[in-house]
Amino acid sequence: MSIPRIAIDGVTKYYGQTLVLDEVSLDVAPHEVVCLIGASGSGKSTLLRCINRLVDFDHGEIRLDGISVEDAQFGHTGLQKRIGIVFQSYNLFPHMSVLDNITLAPRKVHKIAREAAEARARELLGLFGMAEHALSYPEQLSGGQQQRVAIMRSLATRPEVLLLDEVTAALDPELIGEVLRIIRQLKDEGMTMVIVTHEMGFARDVADSVCFLEGGRILERGDPKTMFAAPQNERTEKFLQRIIEAGRL
């Protein structure tokens, strides 16, 4: 069996006295799309942020292609180059144009020449239908457009893994589709993704497998169609019941 792209192995994380991740283990194969679902505070966002070390964990190990993310060979920037992350609130730099937002890390962190970085950025903008917005500033764009730029920014260094943290949660309903389309496009190109989402319909559609988290543990993992139709764990069932009542599935 081949090594998983991401191997999470018994990861535990405390915030002060609060246990947020309780010996979580999860393997993500290359080109696999895994959705993390669960109520707020279940630890799914924290787990996501542990993968690219935005948050440090207390015990356990996370490996990228078999090498611990804490290994010195990644240095300060190696991991960030290979794992991109997109946030709920876009977090674009408001004082920079779209082009500068996308090229900042390639130029300043990875020392790529401006021409090459901008060529890559324009390629991405063209690919995702935003070529005419290269020189716009974030506040001139809709939420959906900003989130698309945020995705492109994370793709600028050609990462092998993309982490998506509730990327549609801050968007108006009519803008969610354009962001989900891009994610689907990335899946078709073979991107490995770990997605925290409340869009159950999307999870069912795009995920190869879904993990239900509660209290810092993965209670159930399965392929979405089976799990949504017949959850094995009664906690999963209750959660899905609430989601259905809220009209989100």
Nearer to other proteins, 80 or 209 (CB): 80
Contact segment (CB under 8 A) with other proteins among 34-42, 88-96, 210-218, 227-235 equals 88-96
Helix, strand, coil percentages for the chain (3-state, nearest 5) = 40, 25, 35
145 contributes a contact to other proteins by CB under 8 A? no
52 contributes a contact to other proteins by CB under 8 A? yes
> Which tokens in the block code for residue 132?
């005419």
Site string for other proteins, 192-211 (x = CB under 8 A): --------------------
- Report 57-76 residues binding other proteins (CB under 8 A): 76
116 contributes a contact to other proteins by CB under 8 A? no
Nearer to other proteins, 194 or 218 (CB): 194
DSSP letters along 53-108, please? TSS--SEEEEEETTEETT-GGGTTTHHHHHEEEE-TT----TTS-HHHHHHHIIII
From candidates 15, 59, 66, 93, binder to other proteins by CB under 8 A: 93
Nearest CA to 51 out of 42, 60, 62 is that of 62
What is the maximum alpha-carbon separation in the chain? 55
Provide the binding-site residues for other proteins, judged by CB under 8 A. Answer: 52, 54, 76-77, 79-81, 84-85, 87, 89, 91-95, 104-105, 108-110, 139, 153-154, 157
